[in-house]
Structure 1
Amino acid sequence: MGIWVLGSINLDHVYRVHELPRAGETIAAHDYSCGLGGKGANQSIAAARAGATVHHVGAVGPDGDAAIAALSQAGVDVAGVDRQAGPTGHAIINVDDSGENAIVILAGANACLDTGRITQALAAAAPGDTLMLQNETNAVEEAASIGRAKGLRVAYSAAPFDAGAVRAMLPLCDILLCNEGEAEEIRQMLGCSVEEIPVPTLVVTRGARGVGLYVQGQETVEQPAFKVDPVDTTGAGDTFAGYFIAGLDGGPNGGLNPREALARAAAASAIQVTRAGAAIAIPALAEVLEFQKAR
């Protein structure tokens, strides 16, 4: 089995600040770093570190060598990553002393994906593989349609939230992953309860309060959060998503039932928030298993 992630590749510029700036306010940062990020890249690395076979489909600009190298070093197949003339996507991330963040993103090459190239990249995917999608690239709906036609399981993160994109994706996704704010937006958009959102599988994360729901038919599973002292919450949701999908995948370290996959993903994201950064902070599977054993 394999996981195919069509998603963003960003260069994350991270500024550590005592408090997040208010409108019109200029503040001083006390630390700075630059590293690989983007919801797609984060999810690819999380799934790879969870033990899955992962293929990334995306794009970078001329400044993307380091990003491609970081993905490859994490064990992600980068044959599906294209080069564009424009800049690699990047994010400006402010992180305060409590670990909360405020983020501004430039899509760059992430908004220039070609549907024909996506079809070509997914040609090697097999029925039963999983296609992971988010809203930080173009061609998300087209990729989902391609994936469904090939018999892939489509997992979709409804972030950054866009009502039109979410409405178009609901009939195309097998697994919908969202946080409680996004779930509430969808509930209001559809005029239904969260449990009635029309997807086969729904996962709602609630930050420090853990995973709110796993709904498949009539089954609901609650997963409490592991108690940790957060340093930086950037990428926590992506870590959870990558580990969760890798857990469900039938690879050598997957094949978990939903409850087991939720617990492993919650443990991975708990470790990740105790470290600075996004992709660089994602733990390896051995660390996650040891963490679970200790708890």
Structure 2
Amino acid sequence: MAIFNLGSVNIDRFYTLPRFPGPGETLSATGHKIGLGGKGANQSVAAAKAGAEVYHIGAIGKTDPWVRQRIETYGANCKFLREVDEPTGHAVIYVGPDGENMIVIDPGANVKQDSEFVIQAIDQAKSGDTLLLQNETNLQAHAATFALVKGMRVIYSAAPFSVEAVRGVIPDVSMVVMNAVEASQLCSEMGMTLDQIPVPQVLVTLGARGAMWRSNETGEVIEVTSPKVTAVDSTGAGDTFVGYVAAGLDFGMPIRTAMEWAVQAAALKVTRPGTADAIPTAADVKAFRG
């Protein structure tokens, strides 16, 4: 089995702050670094570091070959990562003293996906493979429809949240993933509760509290708790969780087992500064779990 991910790729610029600035305030950073990120790349790297076979579908600027090399170093196959004239997407990430963050994104090449190229890439998948999607690229709904026809599992992260994007994708989704804030926004915008969302499975990440999964076909609910850690940087924790869940399901794990593995990986991630570069490997998670 394999995981295909139509996902964003960003160059992340981190600024460590003593606190978040107020409106109109200038504040000096205590640290700065550049790394690999983007919800899509983070999820691909997480699934690859978990040990899954991963193919990343996306686009980057022609002037950033190191981005492709970095993703490949972590084990994801980038033969479906196009180079385009548009600059690589980038994010400015402010990290506070408690590990919480504020993020501003310029999508760049991420929203320059080519329809024919995306379909050709997904056409290499087999029935039972997984397609990951997020809202940082274009063509999510197009990809989901084609993947469903091929018999793939479609896992969709409804972030950054957009009710219009959700409505376009959700008819062809196997599982929608949201954090608690996004779940509240979706229920409010669609005028329904989680159990009424027209999708087979809903997965809600709850930060330090863990995660909750619900089958909207059977009504079954599973909750898992997260280990207590001292957070350094929460950036990419949700993507780490999604990548590990996808890998676990790809390996044939029951959903509870995959979630328990994923919350351990996400908890370990927040103890490390950075995004894709800081995502733990399966061996790291095993050692962390003891």
Q: TM-score, normalised by structure 2?
A: 0.97
Kindly state the Cα deviation for residue 86 of structure 1 after the two structures are TM-superposed. Answer: 1.3
1:247 counterpart letter in structure 2: G
Residues 1:275 and 2:272 are matched in the alignment: yes
CA deviation vs aligned residue, 1:78-108 (integer Å, no higher than 9, x gap): 0000011010000000001100100000000
Q: Shift of residue 219 of structure 1?
A: 1.2
Deviations 1:168-221 (A, max 9, x none): 111110011100111111111222222222211110011111103333522111
Code of the aligned partner of 1:286: A
Cα distance in 1 for residues equivalent to 2:213 and 2:131: 21
Per the alignment, residue 212 of structure 1 pairs with 212
- Secondary structure of 1:275's partner? coil
Q: Does 1:258 align with 2:255?
A: yes
**3-state DSSP of counterpart to 2:24:** coil
CA distance in 1, matches of 2:150, 2:213: 29
Distance (whole Å) between structure 2 residues aligned to residue 280 and residue 220 of structure 1: 33
Matches within 5 A, 1:1-295: 1-216=1-216, 217-249=218-250, 254-292=251-289, 294=290
Contact 2:212–2:221, Cα closer than 8 Å, also in 1? no
Counterparts of 1:131 and 1:167, CA distance in 2: 18
Q: 1:243 Cα deviation (Å)?
A: 0.2
Aligned residues: 289
Counterpart-to-counterpart distance in 2, 1:145 and 1:81: 21
For residue 63 of structure 1, report the CA deviation from its aligned partner: 2.6
Q: Give the superposed CA RMSD.
A: 1.0
Q: After superposition, what is the alpha-carbon deviation per residue over 1:35-77, rounded to whole angstroms, capped at 9, x for unaligned?
A: 1000000000000011100000000002321110011011111
Q: Which amino acid is 1:266 matched to?
A: V
Secondary structure of 1:51's counterpart equals coil
| Partner SS state of residue 202, structure 1 | strand
Amino acid in structure 2 at the alignment position of 1:225: S
Q: Secondary structure at the match of 1:26?
A: coil
Which amino acid counterpart does residue 208 of structure 2 have in structure 1? A
SS of aligned partner of 2:123: helix
Give the aligned residue type for 2:263: A
For structure 1, list consecutive stretches of 5 or more residues without a partner in the other structure: none
- Contact 2:58/2:80 (<8 A) preserved: yes
Q: CA deviation at 1:20?
A: 1.3
- Are 2:205 and 2:212, in contact at CA under 8 Å, matched by a contact in 1? yes
What is the rounded CA distance, in whole Å, between the counterparts of 2:183 and 2:29 in structure 1? 33
Matching residue's letter, 1:47: A
AA matched with 2:134:
Q
C-alpha distance in structure 1 between counterparts of 2:31 and 2:21, whole Å: 15
Gaps of at least 5 residues in structure 2 are none
